[in-house]
Chains A and B, each alone.
Chain A
Amino acid sequence: MTSLLSVVNVSKVYQMDGVVFQALDSVSLSIKKGEFVAIMGPSGSGKSTIMHIIGCLDRPTSGKVFIEGKDIFKADDQELAEIRNTHIGFVFQQFNLLRKTSSLSNVELPLIYAKVPANERHERAKATLVEVGLSDKMSNFPSQLSGGQQQRVAIARALVTNPSIILADEPTGNLDSKSGRDIMTIFDRFHKAGKTIILVTHEKDIAKHAKRIISLKDGKII
């Protein structure tokens, strides 16, 4: 099976006031379609940095990233936005939902940028919210939802475009253990349905859900 995602010799160097800091040091990895991978490592080891690069939110200083064979290093800002929209579903630790905006509208957001017509948008967003168990919270604002429910809205938003890869950076980091387990049940279910998932976590219990674990330390894979 060919790899859905390959990262080849990726380095990321930050420069601040002349101080050079290497957040990633020649990282290479490859992920196949349908895999469920956890990235682990201590704080500051570069987990979020590699996730941002894979998610096309950031560019590597050197090295290459291929998503479905496409070299994203060459893409301009416009193309990166399109790749994020069609290939990537990002779940953040802080949920990042739009305030004063209903769950349904939050989930519809990526579809607006995918130029999906309004009717189809509503239908798909509703269906995805049902899948994450929020059929009764569609018109609630984020402020009227629990943390676990907010994260489920965020997962629905990541899934609604039917992306090639779901990236989740510490999705349970802001949740109590019960809500965290609920979230992981959802990820398990999507994995069984054939989705490709990359998850960053500190917790061993959470990482156990993944089928493969990649460990990072000081910007290197160990």
Chain B
Amino acid sequence: MKRLGIPELVCPAGGLPALKAAVDNGADAVYFGCRNDTNARNFAGLNFTPKTMADGVEYARARGRRVLMAVNTFPRPGREELWRDAVDAAADFAVDAVLLADIGLLDYASRRHPKLALHLSVQGSATNYEAINLMHREFGIRRVVLPRVLTLDQVAHIVRNTPVEVEVFGFGSLCVMNEGRCWLSSYATGESPNTLGACSPARFVKWENSSGQTSTRLNGILIDRWTDDERAGYPTLCKGRFEVEGETYYAFEEPTSLNVLEILADIAKIGVSAVKVEGRQRSPAYVAQVTRVMRAALDALERGADAYRVDPAWTAELAKVSEGSHATLGAYDRPWR
């Protein structure tokens, strides 16, 4: 359970075994979605059916953990019913909160289910306290998940100026380009996270192995080519290598994973309420490994911020499961804005 002054640890669950892995390894809360395009990790075979959701909610509850349901894509014109149904399901399951991004859906949820706690999803892309406070005034949001584009100072500034709880990303693959507004996947495939709930849908992805190298193509577009000794990343355009003015390099960003262990004490000190782990598309093994490390770090923090040190074993464990070859503090520590 969440302890005073220590951020809540929020972990991903793409399925029931992952949810149990999160709970068993010390998550304070788990987040998951329905098996359809109402959530931003809509991959084949992933996510929860009503049956597994009931089991998952019960498992977490019985152990005193909180459950959060993500309905964080944008309703498609003419099919709004599906998204409203998902919100109704969240209310039926009496989840501790539902994560929403769309303003229309926030409006629906706040009027239809006044008791249901609302979190503004990262897809809602609120990066300043005025936007967050407006959502608070209009829809009574309890928490905001901040996009991964803010520096630590900017996060602190928001915390000081809003009554809304602030949740930040603590570990996972990066998706930093205009969260909630990225068009790269649509450009290549006609489908994007905000419409169908998946960036770079698998059926557009092809890996070609030839001697000593692997090429990744997204709908025929060559995204990257790795030699056998290079680490691989997800097949997204933002992490591809492209030729720009005669040079071939990661023109948008390098395939890296965010890891905030180094600044965890600062994150707690500025009053952040929750730290989130990315990865509903990952397996129970990943969820267990990352949850265990984050729990150990938060427990260490609870024993005293001054004595808090990053254990090299934590870093090694997280580096192993990371996308790309290194971890980064991302925008939290960027010299430029």
A binds B: no
Interfacial residues, chain B to chain A (CB-CB below 8 A): none
